Structure 1
Amino acid sequence: MAMTEAEKKRVQRQRADVARRAEVDSTYPYLKETFSEFLDHEGNYSNVEIALGLAGIEAPLIDDERDPEAFALEDVIAGVENPFPGAKGAIGRAEVMVDCFIDAAIELAAIVNNYKRAEITARFAELEHSSETDRAEAMKEAVRLNKMLDQLNKQVRRSFPQWKVTGV
């Protein structure tokens, strides 16, 4: 079956994203101070530690210039030829962390969304088959559940600074 224009565009975007991630960061030749040295006097990393700590995750310690491969779990990168193309040193590790945090947040958001949709849909089914709830109350509840599903159908966008410069 032929792909729709939307599917073709999605595949094109995925290919472009893979190609973009494979490019070496254009800023690397201009970075003189190492990222691990920069973090010694950058006070804002404590905000990263707090945000991850609230989620029950200990923030990674970035105190040397080892590449991301040195920290990746072996079973996750097993068989992958170049898991972190272009990423070098502590700054490369930090860039990979940003990408991974975003990917994990997207996946977790989708899982939470699927769970809530399934539960709300189940409550709809209960309302339809319930004879104990009066009709007016059931209608109010159905409207409320519909509003929740409408919100869950929306996409959320968050803005944050660009962390990687490629193709320049």
Structure 2
Amino acid sequence: MSEGSIDDLMSSADSPMIVVTTSAEGERAGCLVGFHSQSSISPEHYCFWLSKANHTYRVSLRSTHFAVHFLTAEDLAVAEHFGALTGEETDKFSGLDVDTTTDGVPLLRALPNRMLVKRIVMSDDGGDHVGVTAQVVSVETTGSFAPLRLSDVGDLSPGHDSDERVIDP
């Protein structure tokens, strides 16, 4: 066995990518997310982690509902859009087909494999991401699909680096 890094280990796991959207007080936000997982079977809970450097994180502090959109292998352009742009400088939803839930959450029509969730708790352990544990409210899917994976977006330059977090621990 040889020494390695967590990056070496996690790149082999090659997690699927999602786009998380939310809104608060009329302000919409969305970002590309690689850290996420189902966290309970009964009741159905889902967790995702938001970078503290992102506009979406700041909006999430005031929001209660989120949409978790699952990306397919054909959704690289959407991943680039939500991963490389920053909400401070651009309206990420401009020019996209978007529906809105009664709670104000933007739903991306181009990403029909999704769930709506309601925040239970946010957890900040002092790292560069904050965890959101949420109750699954509803699920929509077109059936099974091949996910867009971390290795597919490896060359993407993020809108913010993790060291740009708004609040230092």
Is TM more than 0.5 here? no
Greater strand content: 2
Q: TM-score if structure 1 supplies the norm length?
A: 0.23
Structure with larger Rg: 1
Q: TM-score if structure 2 supplies the norm length?
A: 0.23
